[in-house]
Amino acid sequence: MKIVFSGVSKVFDPDIVALRDITLKINKGEFVYVIGATGSGKSTLLRLITRELLPSRGMVAVGSVDLRGMRRADIPYYRRDVGLVAQDFKLIPTLTVYENIAFVMEAMAVPSKIVSYRTNEVIEQVGLWRRRFMKPAQLSGGEQQRVAIARALANSPSLFIADEPTGNLDYRTAADVMKILFAINAAGVTVVMSTHNQNIVNASRQRVIELAEGRLVRDEASGGYFD
């Protein structure tokens, strides 16, 4: 799924400028790192793609859809095609691993047999089969992140947004999570990932978009963290 930012600025009340005049294009099937210091606008950029935020100026388009004009009732349908993984996992604490993942398909009225099959499939894919009936609080940070990835995968999205998915994880666990993300990308899914992790960015040499104080300061096809 192609993403286009055209002259996008985002200002929060009162006069906090999170993004300034961002113009960029991410092609279908790309793997893109979004890097920058804390407060540089990385999360704001990702939240504009998931339509949690609206731009103050400019245009954000995903696929052929201009997100500014999207009706509120259509947002859930759009999000079903966008896998989302956040640093704080955003899992529902009262549901088990299985239920957290199954939920996204149930919300689409997928018949229970298919839900069951697909949920078990993605749980196996992220290696959490033995943890499937546990609640998020009973899992480690890495395991919770894998649940979030499994949930994002459940609907087979064409776009995968990961906001610092390795932020709370040790190096080994982070490497496991990255393996899963690369596998998703290899299947043709566009992946946009924000991160502070230099090792990860330097090791894989993918496209890097760097933000500083809300401005786009670098857009490199195969970059490292400090290039």
Q: Which residues bind other proteins (CB under 8 A)?
A: 12, 50-54, 72-73, 75-77, 79-80, 84, 90-94, 103-104, 106-112, 151-152, 155
Compare residues 80 and 205 and give the one whose CB is closer to other proteins.
80
Compare residues 77 and 171 and give the one whose CB is closer to other proteins.
77
Distance in Å, CB of 131 to other proteins, minimum: 19
Compare residues 105 and 128 and give the one whose CB is closer to other proteins.
105
Distance in Å, CB of 94 to other proteins, minimum: 6
Distance in Å, CB of 24 to other proteins, minimum: 21
Q: Using CA atoms, how far apart are residues 33 and 56, in angstroms rounded to an integer?
A: 24
Distance in Å, CB of 82 to other proteins, minimum: 8
The pair of structure tokens assigned to 169 is: 């994880």
Q: Using CA atoms, how far apart are residues 101 and 123, in angstroms rounded to an integer?
A: 8
Q: Using CA atoms, how far apart are residues 156 and 54, in angstroms rounded to an integer?
A: 25
Owner of token pair 């894989």: 204
Helix (H, G, I), strand (E, B) or coil at 145: helix
Which of 92, 97, 73 is closest to 154 using CA atoms? 97
Q: Using CA atoms, how far apart are residues 194 and 134, in angstroms rounded to an integer?
A: 28
Compare residues 92 and 183 and give the one whose CB is closer to other proteins.
92
